[in-house]
Amino acid sequence: EDQVTQSPEALRLQEGESSSLNCSYTVSGLRGLFWYRQDPGKGPEFLFTLYSAGEEKEKERLKATLTKKESFLHITAPKPEDSATYLCAVLSNFNKFYFGSGTKLNVKP
């Protein structure tokens, strides 16, 4: 069964404490993997697209990486303003999107 699983469900970090969020997937061929940030009560904000294993993308304190079975969103020295839910989505070879249920990140000052 095609699916996307994100872990952990929730993560609490101290400001400056680096960590990683995981997105593992089992789909019928990967055409693309997308990371989004969602603040409470708002629509998801697009962060990155990754297309092939070994690819990496960076933006400020965030770095996304991709392997054949999973993607990681690394957060380096996070700040309280990085607190949000991070969503992962996968586009399969059948042009179907699968969204994970997200990781809720809370960064304490």
Partner 1 sequence: DGGITQSPKYLFRKEGQNVTLSCEQNLNHDAMYWYRQDPGQGLRLIYYSQIVNDFQKGDIAEGYSVSREKKESFPLTVTSAQKNPTAFYLCASSMDRDLEQYFGPGTRLTVT
Measured CA to CA, the distance from residue 34 to residue 87 in angstroms comes to: 8
Nearest CA-CA partner of 22 in 84, 87, 98, 81? 87
Measured CA to CA, the distance from residue 67 to residue 54 in angstroms comes to: 6
Residues 43-82 close enough to bind partner 1 by CB under 8 A: 43-46, 49
Q: Which stretch binds partner 1 (CB under 8 A): 18-26, 57-65, 67-75, 95-103?
A: 95-103
Burial (CB < 10 A; 0-12, 13-18, 19+), residue 76, is middle
Residue pair 84/42 in contact by the 8 Å Cβ criterion = no
Residues 26-45 close enough to bind partner 1 by CB under 8 A: 31-32, 34, 36, 41-45
Question: Could you tell me how many residues of this chain bind partner 1 (CB under 8 A)?
Answer: 22
Beta strands 103-108; 10-14: pairing state: parallel
Q: Of the two residues 24 and 76, which places its CB atom closer to partner 1 in the complex?
A: 24
Q: Min. distance of Cβ 101 from partner 1 in angstroms?
A: 5
Q: Min. distance of Cβ 75 from partner 1 in angstroms?
A: 20
Q: Of the two residues 18 and 52, which places its CB atom closer to partner 1 in the complex?
A: 52
Question: Would you tell me which residues interact with partner 1 (CB under 8 A)?
Answer: 4, 31-32, 34, 36, 41-46, 49, 87, 89, 91, 95, 97-102
